[in-house]
Amino acid sequence: MRSFAASLLTVLLLASGAAGAAEPQRIISAGGDITEIIYQLGAGDRVIAVDSTSTFPAEAAGKEQIGYIRRLAAEGILSLQPDLLIAAHDAGPPPAVEQLKSAGLRVELAPKGDSLAGVQQKIRFVGDVLAMPEAAGTLAEQLETDMQGASEVARAVPENTRVIFVLNTRDGAPLVAGAGTAADAIIGLSGGVNAVTGFEGYKPMSQEAIISAAPDVLLMMSQTLDRIGGIDALLARPEFSLTPAGKNRRFVAMDGILMLTFGPRLPEAVRELATALTKTEQSD
């Protein structure tokens, strides 16, 4: 059965007749950051399909869908006859990625980068893969210029503004962002301080620990806040209502893709969050 599946995948790929092209013309992009970079470089017309995190620009969202970036299906991807899958570093599951490579598809995984330098590295990586190094260099330089303006806004945020990023509140203790996360990085770039210390990654945090962390601002993805019923639903929970943020009704809701993707819109994300952190109150 395995050998049959492998043969089928190979046939699907070879049917495209495009394997190994120097400048890929049938691109599948997985990862909102990677897709945005491709479009910024002017190669969006070569994209034939994207994953579910690729919601910007609007033209990308209208492409054929391959599902969530961490739940890719090799057969579905190869049936589209691509000559390149270019994806974020965490694309998976690993067996599916290996299956695609074994079938002969060119698979390029971008480096992880939750910083200005990291985004510039991703831009240059995509530029090299698409044989567009000059355009990538120009975009990377423009990003640095734009970040200078965003950083000026971040410097206006009151010192030691403590922020807690809440990923979700389902299944018991809220899941919050510790060190080494994209949320931690964007908070720091935007002039805030992550109120969560002592662990890395996204982990559940107890009611007592959240109250003790004493965040000045609650930060969530707007999609998540809408799903749980808005800020009133969040503040109905004592672990949030009893914090300085809850008492003062200070919260920020941002588009999750913009906030956490770390693509070419990074300066926009920093500017938006920094501007929100300077306000004394946020209302829905």
Range of the domain at 233: 157-277
Answer yes or no: do 91 and 186 share one domain: no
Shared domain for 182 and 270, answered yes or no, is: yes
The residue with greater pLDDT, 140 or 22, is: 140
The half-sphere exposure of 242 on its side-chain side, counting CA atoms within 13 A, is 10
Say how far apart CA 278 and CA 284 lie, in whole Å. Answer: 17
Q: Please report which confidence band the pLDDT of residue 20 belongs to, taking 50, 70 and 90 as the band edges.
A: very low
Which of 11-25, 53-67, 74-88 has the least mean pLDDT?
Answer: 11-25
Residue 181: closest CA among 165, 169, 163, 158 = 165
Q: What's residue 172's pLDDT?
A: 80
- Identify whether 171 is part of a domain: yes
Looking at the domain assignment, is residue 284 inside a domain?
Answer: no
HSE-up (13 A, CA, CB side) for residue 75: 5
pLDDT at 2: 47
Q: What CATH number is attached to the domain comprising 198?
A: 3.40.50.1980
Among 110, 128, 149, the domain boundary falls at 110
**Residues 171, 97: one domain?**
no
Sheet order of strands, 84-87 included:
64-65, 47-50, 27-30, 84-87, 107-109
Q: How far apart are CA 121 and CA 266, in angstroms?
A: 13
Both 106 and 162 in one domain: the answer is no
Strand partners, 47: 27
3-state helix, strand, coil in the chain (%, to 5): 45, 15, 40
Q: What is the pTM of this model?
A: 0.88
* Average of per-residue pLDDT across 266-272: 98
Answer yes or no: do 251 and 166 share one domain.
yes
Q: What is the pLDDT of residue 281?
A: 47
| Residue 20 near residue 40, CB atoms below 8 Å | no
pLDDT at 6 over 60: no
Angle at 281 between CA 277 and CA 284, to 5 degrees: 105
End-of-domain residue from the set 86, 110, 134 = 110
**C-alpha distances in Å from residue 20, one per residue of 95, 224, 270:** 22, 41, 38
Task: Report residue 22's pLDDT band, with 50, 70 and 90 as the boundaries.
Answer: low
Q: Find out whether 115 and 185 touch, Cβ atoms under 8 Å.
A: yes
Q: Is 126 left (phi over 0), alpha (psi -120 to 50) or beta?
A: alpha
The answer to whether position 39 is within a domain reads yes
| Residue 271 forms part of a structural domain | yes
Look at residue 218 and give its three-state secondary structure: strand
Q: Is residue 130 part of a domain?
A: no
Single out the residue in 110, 143, 170 at which a domain terminates: 110
Counted domains in the chain: 2
Same domain, 103 and 34: yes
Instruction: Check whether residue 255 and residue 193 sit in a common domain.
Output: yes
